[in-house]
Structure 1
Amino acid sequence: MYDITLFTPQDLAKCSLVLRQFGRNTPSMEASSQKIVKYIYQHFCDSQTGENTCVLVRLFKTHPYGELEDSLQQSARRLMNGNSPAADMKCWTLLAAAGPEPHWNSRHTAVENTAIPLVSAELVAEIPAISEMIRQFGLEIPTVIGTEPEMFLQLEPAALNIFYESQPKGSPFIAEQDSLIIPYGVKSVLGFGGLLESGSLFAVVMFLKVKIPQNTAGMFRHLALSVKTSLSLTDKKNVFNSLEQTQNIVTNNNTYEMDFLESQVANLIQLLDFSEQEMVRQAAHYQLIIDKLQIKIALRKNKEQAVQASQEQFTGIFNLPQDAIVRVDENQGMQRFNQGEEQI
């Protein structure tokens, strides 16, 4: 169990390890996705009450229209007034969901539009929820919808980031205000994801009952790599569940195992790069703090030395025995006198 308000690096490492395994021996990306959202929904809880911290968890992926199953193609065509999109046009597709309401736990019933066509960069820019997530991920809309594949090749290895909304109520970037945000008391929304090798964008979105700080949200960037590891095994292959895929997972177990291990190696190398970059960043941060402290210490020492020198000079003058020196207050009361005054 993880309390997101008290999320620690140890929690991050434990959760990351679990999420990386969900691509193993699964027949499709949809099956892996369902395991991921279910685990997150069930294991992020309030440490005091044990109640689920998540109102809802969803996992999305961009997917070519021509490779969608019939029900998803129908969803896309509804939004295009019955017109059929081009086969290679990307659609923002729901793969899995988990929450307290029964109909939220199936991609077929979780939302009204399970596949949103990303027709052009101009039209995507007019969909606040998607365009803002792309922006916060540090990506460009043309890269995500596939109109700039050369840019994707440069970005994919490191394109993992978070989407964070600390004030979801009334936010133009968060839809379903009346059906989800307000009635279920959602206090923050956190998404994490990035690019897959196929050119698809994936994102896990958590609707939370609690507020979390920006630094906690930033930790989930590392979980994006673990989710990518799980999804990569079936990327470009089996995305949606089918009976045939479920049967083949048993007979082709050795092939899946080899693919899984190869995927693990590639992503663990990327995780090592992430860790090293984080270590360098933190080392630079701590060095900056140390440098500032050393400057303050040096200034303090210089000030103390100046004060000491001034006091020594004053004491030397004050204690001259042949002269009388007296310090009095405003009421002519004697405050201090030297040896000369004492002798007089």
Structure 2
Amino acid sequence: MYDLTRFTPQDMAKCSLVLRQFGRNTPSMEASSQNIVKYIYQHFCDAKTRENTCALVRLFKTHPYGELEDSLQESARRLMRGNSPTADMKCWTLLAAAGSEPHWNSRHTAVENTAIPLVSAELVAQIPAISEIIRQFGLDIHTVLGTQPEIFVNLEPGALNIFYESDAKGSLFIPEQDTLIIPHKIKSVLGFGGLLESGSLFAVLMFLKVKIRPNTAELFRHLALSVKTALSLADERIVFNPPETSENIVVNNHNIYETQLLEYQVATLIELLDLSEQEIVRQAASFQRTIEKLRREIALRKNKDQALQTSQDKFTGILNIAENSIVRVEENQGIQQLNQGEEQI
């Protein structure tokens, strides 16, 4: 169980280890995705009440229209208002969902539009929720749509990031205000994801009943790598759940998948090492800044102590002149201090 109000790097590491395993021995990317969202929904809880922190968790992936199943193609066509889709047109597709409402636990019933057509960069820019996720992930719409493949080639292999809206209520980037955000008292929305090797964009969105801090949200960038690992192997096989007869195919090709898994694990370990090194550098820089701040504060304190001591020495020297009478008097409080000269007088 993970409490988001006290989520630590150690919690992140434990959760990351579990999420990476969901790519093993699953018949499809959809199955892996459902395991991922279900685990996140069930294991992020309040430490005292044990209540689920997430009201809803969704996992989306961009997918070519021509490779969608019939029901998803129909969902995309409804939004195109009679226009003809192309086979390579990317669609923002719901792969899995888990939440507190019964209909939220299936991609077929979790949202009204399970596949949103991304017709062009201009139209995507007019969809605030999707365009803002792309922006916060540090990507551009042309890259996500695949209209400029040369940009994708030049991207960092670990192009992973977070989407974070501290205040969900009233946000222009969070739709379903009246049906989800307000009635279920959603305070923050946190997402994480990035690009798969295929060029597809994936995003996990958590609708949270607690408000989280930016430094907590930043930790989820590391979880994006684990989800990418779990999805990457399935990305080369079958995206949507196959019929029952396809289970034999998975068994017969077990050795092939295990080899692919090892290859992905090696690549993932390299990316994880890069992220770890970046985190070490960041923490070292932060530690160095803290040390410098403490040094400045110590130097300032020493200067103040020295100035105070000098002032006290001067005052004591003046006060101890026996030949002269020195008396300190404050209004309505009488004599407060006198020296030896005044005592003799």
TM-score range, shorter chain: over 0.9
Instruction: Report if the CA contact (8 A) 1:238-1:245 is conserved.
Output: no
Matching of residue 317 in structure 1 with residue 318 in structure 2: yes
Listed as ranges, the matches of 1:276-315 within 5 Å are 276-315=277-316
Equivalence for 1:258: 259
SS at match of 2:218: helix
Whole-angstrom distance in 2 between the partners of 1:39 and 1:183: 24
Instruction: Report if the CA contact (8 A) 1:57-1:204 is conserved.
Output: yes
Instruction: Report if the CA contact (8 A) 1:168-1:174 is conserved.
Output: yes
Greater shift after overlay, 125-134 or 70-79?
70-79
Whole-angstrom distance in 1 between the partners of 2:15 and 2:334: 73
CA RMSD of aligned residues (A): 1.9
Assess, with a 3 A threshold, how the Cα gap between structure 1 residues 253 and 337 changes in structure 2: closer, same or farther: same
Equivalence for 1:5: 5
Deviation at 1:122, TM superposition (A): 0.7
> Structure 1 regions of 5+ residues with no counterpart?
none
Deviation at 1:156, TM superposition (A): 4.4
Equivalence for 2:66: 66
Please list the CA deviations of residues 12-38 of structure 1 after superposition, one character each: whole Å capped at 9, or x if unmatched: 111110000000111211111111011
Equivalence for 1:128: 128
SS at match of 1:202: strand
Instruction: Report if the CA contact (8 A) 1:324-1:341 is conserved.
Output: yes
Listed as ranges, the matches of 1:100-111 within 5 Å are 100-111=100-111
Whole-angstrom distance in 2 between the partners of 1:52 and 1:239: 29
Listed as ranges, the matches of 1:183-194 within 5 Å are 183-194=183-194
Sequence identity percentage? 76
Deviation at 1:331, TM superposition (A): 6.4
Greater shift after overlay, 236-245 or 31-40?
236-245
Amino acid at match of 1:319: N
Please list the CA deviations of residues 196-236 of structure 1 after superposition, one character each: whole Å capped at 9, or x if unmatched: 11111100111122222222222111111110010011224
Please list the CA deviations of residues 112-151 of structure 1 after superposition, one character each: whole Å capped at 9, or x if unmatched: 2111111111100111110111111121111111122222
Instruction: Report if the CA contact (8 A) 1:59-1:97 is conserved.
Output: yes
Instruction: Report if the CA contact (8 A) 1:66-1:87 is conserved.
Output: yes
SS at match of 1:279: helix
Deviation at 1:270, TM superposition (A): 0.8
Please list the CA deviations of residues 307-342 of structure 1 after superposition, one character each: whole Å capped at 9, or x if unmatched: 212222232233233444333444694433333333
Deviation at 1:301, TM superposition (A): 0.6
Greater shift after overlay, 198-207 or 154-163?
154-163
Greater shift after overlay, 9-18 or 317-326?
317-326
SS at match of 1:157: coil
Please list the CA deviations of residues 95-116 of structure 1 after superposition, one character each: whole Å capped at 9, or x if unmatched: 1111233332222222221111
Greater shift after overlay, 159-168 or 193-202?
159-168
Please list the CA deviations of residues 250-298 of structure 1 after superposition, one character each: whole Å capped at 9, or x if unmatched: 1111111111121111112111211111121121112112211211211
Equivalence for 2:50: 50
Whole-angstrom distance in 1 between the partners of 2:280 and 2:216: 17
Whole-angstrom distance in 1 between the partners of 2:204 and 2:320: 78
Listed as ranges, the matches of 1:1-344 within 5 Å are 1-243=1-243, 244-330=245-331, 333-344=334-345
> Structure 2 regions of 5+ residues with no counterpart?
none
SS at match of 2:290: helix
SS at match of 1:155: coil
SS at match of 1:247: helix
SS at match of 1:87: coil
SS at match of 1:107: coil
Amino acid at match of 2:147: T
Please list the CA deviations of residues 147-205 of structure 1 after superposition, one character each: whole Å capped at 9, or x if unmatched: 22222223242321111222222322112223222222222211111111111110011
Whole-angstrom distance in 2 between the partners of 1:69 and 1:307: 80
SS at match of 2:155: helix
Instruction: Report if the CA contact (8 A) 1:37-1:96 is conserved.
Output: yes
Amino acid at match of 2:220: F
Assess, with a 3 A threshold, how the Cα gap between structure 1 residues 179 and 310 changes in structure 2: closer, same or farther: closer
SS at match of 1:73: helix
Amino acid at match of 1:210: V
Greater shift after overlay, 48-57 or 251-260?
48-57
How many residues in Structure 1 have an aligned counterpart in Structure 2? 344
SS at match of 2:154: helix
User: Which contiguous aligned blocks of 4+ residues in structure 1 show a shift greater than 4 angstroms?
Assistant: 330-333
